[in-house]
Amino acid sequence: MQITYLEMLSPKDLNPADSTSAELRIEQAEIPSGELNRFFYLAVGRNWRWTDRLVWSLADWQSYVEFPEVQTWIASVRGTPVGYFELATKRAPGVVDPDGPVEVEIAYFGLLPQFTGKGYGKTLLTRAIEVAWGTPGAARVWVHTCDLDSPHALPNYQNRGMKVYKVEEETD
């Protein structure tokens, strides 16, 4: 499996998508819900072999989403969830200053299967990057994808202005 890591080092590098859908609403899930994140992880990741969190208990999920560094955002159309993204904020490596620069990872991102191919992913990723750059102290936004993910994932990241900084081959 090939894993591709991408980053953006300035909010000026964002190439926003044309808003293809005025009906797409994107809102933060302000009440941490492990069940909600588990639902999206399973429903979105099913086709892309997301497996690292399959062993998590509901208590693990709840503990994770209660970290203040984790944000969950939900996209919907006419009240129906279509996708989500999770952001995880971390101190930049080697930074000990609590007010120093942070990195924001787009930890998970995706659409429910019936909503792919409609342009929602471009708009949702644009919003994910905007929210990430709105994090106090944000100096870097990054994400990783692999060749098991949607074939639209890597081009979407690159079309929004993210640059590849590392590619790894992982064997089972």
Instruction: Say which CATH number the domain at 52 has.
Output: 3.40.630.30
Q: Are 157 and 13 in contact (CB under 8 A)?
A: no
> What is the pLDDT, as a whole number, of residue 172?
63
Beta bridge partners of 25: 76
Give 3-state DSSP helix, strand, coil % of the chain, rounded to 5. Answer: 30, 35, 35
104 vs 151: which has the higher pLDDT:
104
What residue has token string 């007010």?
A: 99
Tally of domains within the chain = 1
Read off the amino acid at residue 24.
L
The 10s digit of each residue's pLDDT in 82-137 is 999 999 998 766 666 777 789 999 999 999 999 988 889 999 999 999 999 999 99
50 in Cβ contact with 41 (< 8 Å): yes
- Residue 22 is predicted with a pLDDT of 72
The residue range of the domain holding 117 is 2-169
Residue 165 confidence (pLDDT): 97
